[in-house]
Structure 1
């Protein structure tokens, strides 16, 4: 299948909501997301509209989607957060330099192994490294999410040695991985 990899548009909140709810039903969701299906499905329309609007602007956050053909179903997504030096990151840690962080990674089970994840990551990383001052892209992966870590390694991400407690289970950790611009 041919996919169109592109940024989400502000008015596409319904498709963004649908894909997010599918992601939160995935068996790996408790390892991969800090949000539950029950919490997400209870959010009002305004929440989803605002989320899509913010993810479409491309200044501090940009969401890429894998659309099955022009106007088709979304089969995957990744969100890029731009973190400024001196600010706090997604986990509340101080950011030392301008960087990008990939979050909310998801590919529908039936599209896995098709190259969708590679295409999404390529678009996200290319966009991030095109931003002024960004020399690394990072992400966090739950210590038990071996499938995801395997993909990240294959793409070129390496562990930094950094880790933070998983917010849902402080006895587990989220390992930091990064990809540096050559």
Structure 2
């Protein structure tokens, strides 16, 4: 698929909202996201504006959202990375043991799946992670629902490996998320 991979701009909050809502309507959204369409659709425009600003190049640098933009300007997919430090408040999972980025919000529209879009998004996210100087990122992590075999297979193919850490899925009595990570390449 012919897509430009880039960081979102702060003024693209409506497109960021639209792709997030599309992701939350996906048939496996209950395995992939800790959010629901019903909750997300009720959020005010100010929430989406702030989220886009924070995730853009003009944001504070602790979050980046990458998109795969088609020639017509539509977005085929997205990935977001959060910078985490050991001293930060834990958002999800175990506290960071070193400076790292945390992959969240991975989504590729059904018609773009299998075209290389996800690989290109992950390459951009990994390159950004390894390029950070303050902090120098030691690893990139993500969590995948134990029943999301399709996502887990991609993560393993891309070089992520299970760390052995597991956390309970919020609101579930038995389901767990499995942590996967890639360590910083040795230079």
Q: TM-score range by the shorter chain?
A: over 0.9
Task: Extract unaligned runs of 5+ from structure 1.
Answer: none
1:140 equivalent to 2:135? Answer no
Query: TM-score, normalising length from structure 2?
Result: 0.93
What's the counterpart of residue 37 of structure 1? Answer: 37
TM-superposition CA deviations, 1:25-63 (whole Å, max 9, x none): 001101111111011111111111111111112610000
Q: 1:83 & 1:9 partners in 2: Cα distance?
A: 22
Number of matched pairs: 181
Q: 1:168 & 1:154 partners in 2: Cα distance?
A: 30
The CA deviation at 1:92 is: 5.6
Contact 1:34/1:168 (<8 A) preserved:
no
1:178 equivalent to 2:181? Answer yes
Q: 1:135 & 1:158 partners in 2: Cα distance?
A: 15
1:165 equivalent to 2:168? Answer yes
Give the 3-state SS of the residue equivalent to 2:174 in structure 1. strand
What's the counterpart of residue 63 of structure 2? Answer: 61
TM-superposition CA deviations, 1:139-170 (whole Å, max 9, x none): 00000000000110110100000111011314
Describe how 1:77-116 pairs up with structure 2 within 5 A: 77-91=78-92, 93-116=94-117
The CA deviation at 1:118 is: 0.1
Q: 1:166 & 1:92 partners in 2: Cα distance?
A: 10
Contact 2:93/2:167 (<8 A) preserved:
no
Query: TM-score, normalising length from structure 1?
Result: 0.96
Contact 1:11/1:53 (<8 A) preserved:
yes
The verdict on how the C-alpha distance between 1:37 and 1:130 changes in structure 2, with shifts beyond 3 A counting, is same
Greater share of strand residues, 1 or 2? 1
